[in-house]
A and B are shown apart, each in its own frame.
Chain A
Amino acid sequence: MSFIIISIIKAAVVAAALLTTLAYLQWIERKVLAHIQLRLGPSRVGPHGLLQPLADVIKLVTKEDLIPPEANKFVYILAPFLAVATALVSVSVIPFGREIEIFGYRTPMQLTDLNIGVLFILAVSSLGVYGVALGGWASNNKYSLLGALRSSAQMISYELPVSLALVSPLLLLNTLSLGEIVQKQAGFLLGFIPNWSIFQLPFPQLLSFVVFLIAGFAETNRIPFDLPEAENELVAGYHTEYSSMKFAAFFMAEYANMITVAAVTTTVFLGGWQPALPGSLGHLAPVALFFMAGMVAFYHGFHPARARDRMTLPVVGAAFLALSALFLVPWVQAAFLPLFWFVVKTGVIFFLFVWVRGTLPRFRYDQLMAFAWKSMFPLAMANLLLTGLAVGLWG
């Protein structure tokens, strides 16, 4: 019985945290993108635009919900739900930390540890294409249909490199359960190189890491592979006709997919919640990081040139210092240090997504397909064969 209660509580906590993160990822992306392009980004709603996601949600909920008269109503309504559901489900098998004790009940920081976890993620992500394809078809609009066709071709093509790149580290780690995958990446080589699968002997998986990340960009329809919604060719692609909450659902699905790709990359290639620094350095990293962030915030808060931030930045700085002090408490350290490392690694990969979006132009469609079949696929295949050989000889 207590298992069911704990599971429900965990699911609620993860869902709440995930949905809040989704809303704020969009704020982070807009801010980072703005700074890359020397703009300010959202800055009107709340200090530094921090309440912008809330305003966006209110705007989207209260907007009129249009259904095109010639659309297939059932499929039109089904598609955004499919998109968002398949995008959110895969988070349920990602491990966020080691076992913790709540009210005397030991439970891992993971919703469920399937022994076919990796296959589950592949299965769920292969369903993601339906939301896009059906949504584009049901809108009964030529741009939507073209976007949907492009996206289904693109996602089927890039699923191959994704799966092949994911298989190679599994050869090293020898398990499909994500919880065990993280545990097998514990420890350090030579005392300072973390034993993650991108560094792990006998065959470091750097190549498949790169392939997985690039193909992950394509799977999530992000720039430079955002052909399904290329706005200068297709208006907005598959969600041209969608408005209000249905549009928001597609938007959420895109960000949830990004989180999934980042989290899976972290778990399989970057050691999940294992620390990046050995010994006590790993314990002190969050303290030092939050301390530095707090000091920077204080410095800018009291800078004479930034009179507008006199009130807000010192508060932020104090919050960071409090967090820093909190990570010195042994109980907090034991429970949340793994979570800290997981969030840091996932955050770095998410930042990479935004960075690439701010930097690279879009591919042409034939280039996109040629890239999948002529570079990504052979690279992943060669890497798989070499890994198999290395594991067979020295594993």
Chain B
Amino acid sequence: MNTVFFLVFGLIVVVCAINVVVQRHPISSAISLIGVMGSLAIIYLQLGAEFMAAAQIIVYTGAVMVLFIFVIMLLNAGSEEGGKGPLTVRLLGVPLLLVFLGLLSYLIQRLFSDTGPVRFGDFKGGSPADVGRALFSTYLLPFEITSVLILIAILGAIVLARKELD
């Protein structure tokens, strides 16, 4: 059951992620990215991160991607023109990426060969209560700093977006 779960949603994630990269229209990419994020939330659930799964849907799919789609609709962005890009990127890009991916996978298999199997329910520390407790005790300072960061981001976005009004 755990394997089937992982394989099904892992496959959805990979197919949607490939779609993000190969689609020429930004809206298609955005919809695929929503698929990636939704399936990742389900994988988080399997890994016992309940709060993160909910936050993934609320923050990423519910807010960030809506913002993306909003901007794409607002700018009425059409399909990308067939820009070719530099020669080196076209020739070496895919092989180099495959080498990079192979290296990463090899390192992972080498370093984490003795990890145990992932069974749903082995780790229950990701509930909202546990995350909240850690967030407001051990990680209080980073949490407060993040809130300041968000404030700065809000102000920055407002200043950038209101420039054309005057």
Contact = CB atoms under 8 A, between A and B. Distances in A.
Judge: A and B partners, yes or no. yes
B58 A119 contact: yes
Contact of A129 (B54, B58, B66): B66
A120 B66 CA distance: 18
Contacts of B51: 116, 119
A222 B74 CA distance: 24
Given A75-B31, A176-B128, A123 B70 contact: no
A115 B55 CA distance: 14
Contact of A156 (B31, B53, B63): B63
Interface in B68-96: 69-70, 73-74, 76
Contact of A133 (B53, B69, B76): B69
A288 to B, nearest CB: 42
Interface string A142-154: 0001001100110
A148 B76 CA distance: 13
Consensus secondary structure, chain B interface: helix
A218 to B, nearest CB: 15
A127 interface: yes
Contacts of A137: 27, 69, 73
Contacts of B67: 156
B20 interface: no
Interface in A39-94: 72, 75, 78
Q: How large is the interface on A (under 10, 10 to 19, 20 to 34, 35 or more residues)?
A: 20 to 34
Contact of A152 (B55, B57, B69, B128): B69
A172 interface: no
Contacts of B50: 115-116
Contacts of A156: 63, 66-67, 70
Contacts, number: 69
Nearest to A121: B54
A90 to B, nearest CB: 12
Contact of B66 (A115, A124, A133): A133
Contacts of B55: 119
B65 to A, nearest CB: 8
A133 B61 contact: no
Given A123-B54, A123-B57, A115 B73 contact: no
A123 B62 contact: yes
A72 B27 contact: yes
A127 B61 contact: yes
B105 interface: no
B36 interface: no
Interface in A171-187: 176
A126 B70 contact: no
A144 B74 CA distance: 13
Contacts of A116: 50-51, 53-54, 127-128
B73 A149 contact: yes
A134 interface: yes
A134 B62 contact: no
Given A115-B50, A120-B54, A123-B54, A134 B69 contact: yes
B73 A148 contact: yes
A152 B65 CA distance: 11
B34 interface: yes
Contacts of B53: 116
A145 B58 contact: no
A119 B54 contact: yes
Interface in A262-309: none
A72 B62 CA distance: 22
B54 A126 contact: no
Contacts of B57: 123-124, 126-127
Contacts of A363: none
With most chain B CB atoms within 10 A of its CB, the pick from A122, A123, A124 is A123
Contacts of A159: 62-63
A119 B45 CA distance: 13
With most chain A CB atoms within 10 A of its CB, the pick from B53, B58, B127 is B58
A243 B57 CA distance: 31
A149 B74 CA distance: 7
Given A115-B50, A119-B51, A119-B54, A127 B27 contact: no
Given A133-B69, A134-B69, A137-B27, A126 B128 contact: no
16 contacts: A75-B31, A115-B127, A116-B51, A119-B54, A119-B128, A120-B54, A123-B58, A126-B57, A126-B61, A127-B62, A130-B34, A137-B27, A137-B69, A145-B73, A145-B76, A156-B67
Interface of A: 72, 75, 78, 115-116, 119-120, 122-124, 126-127, 129-130, 133-134, 136-137, 145, 148-149, 152-153, 156, 159, 176
Given A120-B54, A123-B62, A129-B66, 13 more contacts: A115-B50, A115-B127, A116-B51, A119-B54, A123-B58, A126-B62, A127-B57, A127-B62, A129-B62, A133-B66, A152-B73, A153-B70, A156-B70
